[in-house]
Structure 1
Amino acid sequence: MTAVSVTGLGTYLPEQRMTAADIAAASGLPEWVVTDKLGIREKRLPGPDDHTNVMGLRAAEQALADAGIQADEIDVVISINEEHKDYPVWTSGIKLAHDLGASRAWAYDIGQKCGTSVLALKQARDLLAADPRVDTVLIAGGYRNCDLIDYQDPNVRFLYNLAAGGAAVVVQRSDSGHRILDSAFRTDGAFSLDVIVPVGGTREPLSPDNVGEYRLTVPDPAGMKARLDAKSMANFVGVVEDALERSGHAPADVDHVAMLHMKRSAHDHVLNTLGIAQDRSIYLADYGHMGQVDQILSLQLAASAGRLSPGSLAVLVAAGIGYVWNALCLEWGAR
């Protein structure tokens, strides 16, 4: 049976940067707290033309080149654009497919916050397995929720790492790419209102009087922290263990953990609990947290550094506000 594999990867990184010193100046935090506690040396910020869908398009062009295919070979486009995108109430994947020249493709958007790329890879695998008429799926999108951060709000300090970038993946029915194995997902809706933009929706429509509140906020920071401390790390570790077991592997088999950017202590805790060496992951201190872009960027960085070779096992690990925890296994192939 032909495998479902990743055959192309692409990322787009804006040129503009915000350094730890810049974050310290904007927030009033000591610079050492930004670097050592928050784990940020610098992060990418969007330029004037770096709209969410545009960044996804630029990454998609790279992914197609990496896969060695043309846009008109794509059957389906799955947009992983963040909800904060070029226009509200908009199916962005349709525009991305059109601009790319994917004239045969049908398109749709999915959203699971920072878990979206891992979810999209599962959906692409399942779609190819279920529908023999689909041979090539493009996953692409951008992220710039850094726009929604108020550095004077200490309640969102854990979100000061939010950055900007784009990522794309080509998934095909192929034995020659990086084979998608199994995955695991957990959600806990008890956290669904812990991080919100309080205005701009149907409950509190946007108005001239409240436009300044259009930013990410944490209504109950103490309560959120207490509940996350009790559950989050266990769910991170749990989804990785579940995805590995379903894929016929164990933590000792893992060659690279492509994990989202979070505070350094949490990153290290996940690896230590799993018994995976720290040098089998890349901490994204020079990039920040680009949402669903992080895992694709980590894979590319690991491949460029020679950490992945045919037969290597990678695990993509994500978490999204809401809360979701995702993991997916990938067997690196020869290409």
Structure 2
Amino acid sequence: MTQVLRSVVTGVGGYLPSEVVTNDDLAKVVETSDEWIQERTGIRQRHRASPDQAVSDLAVEAARQALERAGRTAADVDLIIVATTTGDLTFPATATIVQRKLGAPVGIAFDVQAVCSGFVYALSTADGFVARGRSKCALVIGAETMTRLMDWTDRGTCVLFGDGAGAVVLEPQAGQGTIDDRGLLGFALRADGTKQDLLYVDGGVSTNGQIGHLRMQGNQVFRHAVVNISEAVIAAAADAGVEVSSVDWFIPHQANSRILEGVARRLGIDEAKVISTVAEHANTSAASIPLAMAKGVEDGRIKPGQLLLLEAMGGGLTWGACVLRL
């Protein structure tokens, strides 16, 4: 059998800022309550970056943990892709700032912007380098400071988001081209720009020169999320040559518990197979999937050799799914 090169996850890391904002804390600044938030979202708390923490600082902490768990150092890294909506600066790319702060050597570094779907998009992009022998050690990072995009008078959105970062190390390994191989096995990426008004930020460099605030039509996003994500998951599983029912762990974007449960139910995935961390850190956009992966690895649920199914949906609208064997 002809060997093929696979992009294998060899290390996973996560980082959450030290400041915890509970639902009761939010109830002091906006008309809401712990009961109202938990009933509709499943969220209990979120983390908020300190004023002197840039998103690159969060990314660096997650990257260092992922590298340590992979048995690598920054000196090994030749590719850095950061998925973020909340970069340090308009330019340069946050990935280049992470490269500098890590002390990584000259290599490839750039950002991917697909909002909450960014990590899945970034994984697929990195696969184009690693599985083709163009990278020997890649860092794929999802990092966000979403609290800085919030309108703190809008209780429908400000309660949903938090800050954090997650990272994985990808390295090339030979496989047999079968579903038993370790590594990234299948993808499905989607976008529909006609749905922009459902979830967006009302500011930008070339429109009004402002940062803006996040705006969302929650009910419409929920409806599209459950239907579209389910389609992408099925397509990614088909691309990998596996059945959805065969996955060991379903690791969805941590938007809110209702979407997680709705997608799992539509796909017939056992609730016991769902990794959910949204209660602890809310929606951290591109960081949420790797944060959930890191939690599952840390607590021993996710083990080497297991089949993982990742999915996300974000502004754009963008959405996608990935199947990988750890």
CA spacing shift, 1:252–1:196, aligned 2, 3 Å: closer
1:315 aligned to which of 293, 302, 309: 309
Shift of 1:26: 2.5
Residue 28 of structure 2 aligns to a residue in which SS?
Answer: helix
Q: Tell me which residue corresponds to 1:260.
A: 253
Partner Cα separation in structure 1 for residue 293 and residue 96 of structure 2: 27
State the alpha-carbon separation in 2 of the partners of residues 257 and 315 from structure 1. 5
> Where do residues 204-223 of structure 1 align in structure 2 (5 Å cutoff)?
204-206=208-210, 214-218=212-216, 221=217
Amino acid at match of 2:96: I
Distance in 2, Cα, partners of 1:39 & 1:230: 18
- What residue in structure 1 maps to residue 129 of structure 2? 127
Aligned match of 1:275? 268
Q: Tell me which amino acid in the other structure corresponds to 2:246.
A: D
Distance across 1 between alignment mates of 2:233 and 2:215: 29
Match of 1:168 in 2: 167
| Identity between Structure 1 and Structure 2 (%) | 25
Alpha-carbon contact 1:73-1:104 (below 8 Å) kept: no
**1:184 CA displacement:** 0.7
Is the partner of 1:173 in helix, strand or coil?
A: strand
Structure 2, unmatched stretches of 5+, are 176-180
Shift of 1:201: 2.6
Higher strand proportion: 2
Aligned match of 2:229 = 236
2:147–2:161 contact (8 Å) kept in structure 1: yes
Alignment of 1:249 onto 2:215: no
8 Å CA contact 2:201–2:213 kept in 1: the answer is yes
Answer yes or no: is 1:303 the counterpart of 2:303: no
- 1-structure distance, mates of 2:90, 2:76: 29
Q: 1:134 to 1:303 in 2, by over 3 A?
A: closer
Deviation at 1:43, TM superposition (A): 0.8
> C-alpha displacement at 1:89, in angstroms?
3.0
- CA change 1:108–1:229 in 2 (3 A) is closer
The one-letter code of the counterpart of 1:173 is P
1:88 and 2:87 aligned: no
Q: Deviations over 1:152-175 (max 9, x none)?
A: 225xx1452210011221111025
Are the aligned partners of 2:23 and 2:159 in contact in 1 as well (CA < 8 Å)? no
The one-character-per-residue Cα deviations of 1:226-255 (angstroms, maximum 9, x if unpaired) are 4x4553311111111111111121121121
Aligned residues: 317
Structure 1 position 73, deviation (Å): 1.6
1:72 is matched with: 75
1:203 positional shift: 2.2
Instruction: Measure the CA separation in 2 of the matches of 1:281 and 1:232.
Output: 17
Moved more, 82-91 or 63-72: 82-91
Going from structure 1 to structure 2, the CA distance change for 1:267 and 1:133 (only over 3 Å counts) comes to: closer
User: In structure 2, do the counterparts of structure 1 residues 275 and 83 end up closer, same or farther at CA, with 3 Å as the change threshold?
Assistant: closer
Q: What SS does the corresponding residue of 2:67 show, helix, strand or coil?
A: helix
Q: Which runs of 5+ in 1 are unaligned?
A: none
2:112 corresponds in structure 1 to 110
Q: How far does residue 185 in structure 1 lie from its aligned partner after superposition?
A: 1.3
Residues 217 and 249 from structure 1, CA distance in 2 versus in 1: closer, same or farther, beyond 3 angstroms?
same
Aligned to 1:50: 53
Q: Is the 8 A contact 1:237 1:273 kept in 2?
A: yes
The Cα of 1:299 is off from its aligned counterpart by 1.3
Corresponding position: 1:288 with 2:282: yes
Q: Which moved more, 1:101-110 or 1:323-332?
A: 101-110
Aligned twin of 1:17: 20
Residue from 171, 183, 190 that aligns with 2:194: 190
| Equivalent position SS for 1:25 | coil
Q: Partner letter of residue 172 of structure 1?
A: E
Q: 1:158 to 1:273 in 2, by over 3 A?
A: farther
> How far apart, in 1, do the equivalents of 2:122 and 2:296 lie?
21
